Amino acid sequence: MSFRNYQDKINEGDTVILYISNNLYAIDVQREIKNKKGELVDNVFQSPVGALKVRTLIGVDYGSRVELSKGWGHVLQPTPELWSLTLPHRTQILYTPDISMILLQLDLVPGSVVIEAGTGSGSLTHALIRRVRPHGHVHTFDFHEHRAKLAQEEFEAHGLADFVSAKHRDVLADGFGEELKSKADAVFLDLPSPWIGVPHALAAIKDQGGRFCSFSPCIEQVQRTCLTLEEHGFQEVSTMEVLQTEVKVTKRTIPVRDLSFLKQKSSECPVEEKPNSETSYVVGTWPQSTPGHTGYLTVATLPPVFARNKAKKSKIETSEEISTENGNKGVL
């Protein structure tokens, strides 16, 4: 499977990314497919530059140039980044700028166990799988049964079923289940009310502690989440927004006048209106417009159990002292 391991050649059953003139298309390499009548016919992919018989891709090297009926393109091995740009959208998805920051903030390494609530179209899930494999595991949940089923079928088709479990569950109401209690190194929530899921994340993270991250489009959601995280003993709570700016490298030609006459005292400024020559420079140019808001990432650390108990005990003692002081003032 092309998602499971890096390969030199395309095999039947792989998913390949067809690159044509800055456009990307995901193709399942199958010799035949069923038409609307249920009959098996040759698998032919139609593109803006003509048709491609998919059977001709079998045995071709990844990265090769392939001919279409009216042009050509290149076949690439899929990665989570390319898949995010070509996957079938079942929901709105996260893209590489946010995904890369999420992976960094969750401190994931090969062998980690991570819980994701809000599978959606599986964009982030593919990146999580790549980060924790070969010995880690991703547990992803979606409250929509049909979406969860499609996601599991997709992971199986990509050869990733060993590293991920996609389940249908309303985690805000039912949590992550007893089987995941104190099992996770990190929890990610992409839900309408992430603050309701904070207690469930607390129960799922290991006794040694772990990381938490949530994605929310509205600042009001962030505020409630941050307050709930602090109430449940999470530390280092912070919120960020990831906006990607691309600087384009281009060549610019600048007119140049010959001012060597200024070195001579007797010159009478024989400067022509037109430039004497032109010089080209390589420069970086900023984009005319910047990308808009996507969402806020709220991250936090859950300390080990002994540290949580110590902090809780200190908080109780402080509360009792304040209560005692208020009582003494009342007597006076």
- Residues that constitute the known binding site: 121-124, 142, 190
HSE at residue 17, side-chain half, CA atoms within 13 A, is 20
In three-state secondary structure terms, 32 is strand
Residue type, 104: L
The closest of 190, 195, 133, 202 to 162, measured between CA atoms, is: 133
- How many CB atoms are located within 10 Å of the residue 273 CB? 5
Burial class (CB in 10 A: 0-12, 13-18, 19+), 282: exposed
Binding residues for S-adenosyl-L-methionine: 121-124, 142, 190
Q: Looking at 29-64, which runs of residues are DSSP E strands?
A: 32-34, 40-42, 44-47, 50-53
HSE at residue 226, side-chain half, CA atoms within 13 A, is 15
